[in-house]
Amino acid sequence: MDRLINTLGLFISIIFGLASIIATSGDSGDTTQTVEPETVPATIAIVVPSNNQVYAGGEYVSFVSQISDASATETYTYSWDSSLDGVLGTTANLNLNTLTAGNHTITLTLLDSAGNTVDSDSVTITVGESDSTSSNTAPVAAITSPTTDVSFNVGETITFQGTGTDAEDTTLTDSSLVWTSSIDGAMGTGGTISTNTLSAGEHTITLTVTDTAGSATSAFIIITVGGDTSTPTVQITSPADSSSATATYDVSAGDTINFVGSATDYDGTPITGDNLQWISSKDGALFTGGTYELHTRSVEALDYEPLKEGEHTIYLRAVGASGTAQASITINIVNSNPVAVISNPPEECPDSNTLCQTFAPGEWINFQGTATDTEDGNLSGRNLEWTSHIDGLLGTGESLNIKTDNVDALGNLPMTDGEHIITLEAKDEWGASGIDSVVINIGTNTSPVPSIIYPSSDYTSASSTGFVTFYGQADDAEDGSLNSDDMEWYRSDQEGKIPAEEASGAGLLTSSVRLDISTFETGTHTITLVATDSMGSKGVVSRNITVP
């Protein structure tokens, strides 16, 4: 015996439903064999009719089946056969009054999707000869509540309602209507019965109606009564009703959502507290309990982020004594995009003669903008970003000053020459954004162009005395028409500009200077007009004056 024990050791280990049999041998080493657990095949049973039951000729015969241990992944078909009449039908249940008189062996065969026989059951019934002289019509049975394929909890009160009508007897009542369960047997009589004692399992409930002539007909439904693994009943009532066909709720970001739900266990016990769990398909676990008011942006009040923008499936999961269940609704959180507006530089210059969007190197540019958001109100600071499609991020805030040709004391970077698309992007607290943009141009400053209007050409005085007035003007590509303050007159026979008191029209778009001919020596002299733009660039034009 000891040698046998030393030679062969048998260990059985069951891990996650797999049985592994491990045998060790001193001669051949270790070997391991994994054995899949045996699948229990489905079984079929004929519940109605019972064996050796007798029926009158022409009487309706109800055929009721019950399947057990059915695989959720298999599709089954049924075949009812009579030893006298052949194939009767291929559904789970039948109701026929066309059977031939005689002794029938009724066989019900359960087939899988491949057509293989899974199980079968048989009963023997006797059908009498039809009485051709009888004018009695078989009654009609109907179950009106509950409908078939409904589930109930153990201990739950279930009310069954049915009717029986007959051509001769009209409406049948009381003892003419008999209720039976395929598991628990007789349940009661009459058009309405209630019970809370049905056993756990799948029941075929049969209502058999018998008229005064003895003819009977049956109707049937299938219901399921849960056992210890019955799941709770869960419902969300706010912000939308989970029992509704369209359980959808739209809400704006920043609004408060009132969540309300409830659940009861299979035995009617309310489920509360941490056993009620609210979950979002986008944000995961939210909170617990039957009610909660959630402000979609109150991050400070919660230990999790607020609900994200978009469509959420909200689940209320109930954890019962022996199982869990959940209800769900759909909420859609809509977050409006902020609106950004650039006020400076303007998109269009107020004066066609003003180049408000063109800047020279070294010129300061003031960017100004605002942004508003439906949910967050006015945005500022880091929520406003200025960018150039050439130079990238320029800065943040409602106002920004940048010098284009050098880094200023605040560390602002220069802007590259060329045409820039300047964008102000406003972002709200959820990251939604709105933009505005303007095009500006930064390039080499163009010198102004002055012109002497009068005299239109070189001037020759008729005498050595008298006066002559020179008139001039200047235009600039960036600044437009320059005024007289930006223009200065010079004469070649004197140093410095002509004294200001000799100029006229200060601040106007033209400049003039009145010259005393007697102050000139005989000969030719040069009168010069110098124009200076806002960037310091100068333009020069001259006329000669000849004195005899």
- Domains, the chain, in order of start with CATH, read 2-35 (no CATH), 43-127 (2.60.40.10), 140-225 (2.60.40.10), 233-334 (2.60.40.10), 339-442 (2.60.40.10), 449-547 (2.60.40.10)
Residue with tokens 């002794």: 103
Give phi and psi for 336, each to the nearest 5.
-75, 145
CA torsion through residues 26, 27, 30, 32, sign: negative
The pLDDT of residue 167 is 80
Q: In this predicted model, what pLDDT tens digit does every residue of 383-418 receive, in sequence order?
A: 999 999 888 888 899 998 887 765 444 455 567 777
Alpha carbons 255 and 269: distance in angstroms, whole number: 34
In whole numbers, what is the pLDDT of the chain averaged over residues?
Answer: 80
CA angle 428, 430, 436 (to 5 degrees): 35
Inter-residue contact 32 to 11 (CB < 8 Å): no
pLDDT value at residue 5: 34
pLDDT tens track for 427-458: 987 778 889 988 888 876 678 899 999 999 99
> Is the bond preceding residue 37 a cis peptide, omega within 30 degrees?
no
The CA distance from 395 to 39, in Å, is 70
Torsion of CA 268, 273, 275, 279, to 10 degrees: 120
Cα angle 291-297-298, degrees, rounded to a multiple of 5: 65
Q: Is the pLDDT of residue 225 over 80?
A: yes
Taking alpha carbons only, the member of 340, 306, 319 closest to residue 266 is: 319
Convert the pLDDT of each residue in 329-358 to its tens digit.
Answer: 999 888 788 899 999 988 776 654 445 677
CB 515 within 8 A of CB 545: yes
The stretch 134-150 carries a mean pLDDT of 83
Region of 14 please: left (phi>0), alpha (psi -120 to 50) or beta: beta
Q: For the residues 524-537, what does the mean pLDDT come to?
A: 86
Written as six digits, the tokens of 321 are 């004594």
Q: Is the dihedral of CA 389, 392, 398, 401 positive or negative?
A: negative
Cβ contact 306:285 at 8 Å: no
Instruction: Tally the residues of the chain.
Output: 548
Q: Provide the pLDDT for residue 306.
A: 63
More confident residue, 106 or 534: 106
The gap from C-alpha 53 to its chain's centroid, in whole angstroms, comes to 61
Q: The pTM is what?
A: 0.37
pLDDT given for residue 433 in this prediction? 86
Q: Give the whole-angstrom CA distance, residue 367 versus residue 391.
A: 15
Inform me whether the pLDDT recorded for 22 exceeds 50. no
HSE-CB for 473 with a 13 A CA cutoff = 9
Q: From residue 63, give the alpha-carbon distance in Å to each of 95, 96, 146, 204, 417.
A: 6, 8, 20, 11, 92
Question: How many whole angstroms separate alpha carbon 176 and alpha carbon 101?
Answer: 25
Higher pLDDT, residue 237 or 135 = 237
CA distances from 136 to 128, 131, 164, 210, 430 (A): 15, 9, 15, 12, 78
Burial of 390 (0-12, 13-18, 19+ CB in 10 A): middle
Beta bridge partners of 158: 195
Are 530 and 487 in contact, with CB atoms under 8 Å apart?
Answer: yes
| Among the listed residues 110, 99, 75, 92, the one whose alpha carbon sits nearest the alpha carbon of residue 204 | 92
Average pLDDT over residues 284-293: 87
Q: CB count, 10 Å around CB of 167? A: 12
Tokens 């003669």 sit on residue: 353
Rounded CA-CA distance 172/151 in Å is: 29
pLDDT confidence bin for 363, thresholds 50/70/90:
confident
In degrees and rounded to multiples of 5, residue 410 shows phi and psi of -90, 0
**Residue 188 CA: distances (Å) to CA of 53, 178, 365:** 21, 6, 94
Contact 141, 218 (CB under 8 A): yes
Lowest mean pLDDT among 341-355, 431-445, 477-491, 511-525: 341-355
How far is residue 12 CA from its own chain's centroid?
50
The predicted structure's pLDDT at residue 256: 83
- Give the Cβ contact number of residue 202 at 10 Å: 16
Sign of the Cα torsion 242, 243, 248, 254 reads negative
Contact predicate 256/178, CB 8 Å: no
CA distance 532 to 528: 13
Amino acid at residue number 538: K
Q: What percentage of the chain carries pLDDT values higher than 90?
A: 29
* Residue written as token pair 């600071």: 381
Distance from CA of residue 120 to its chain's centroid? 50
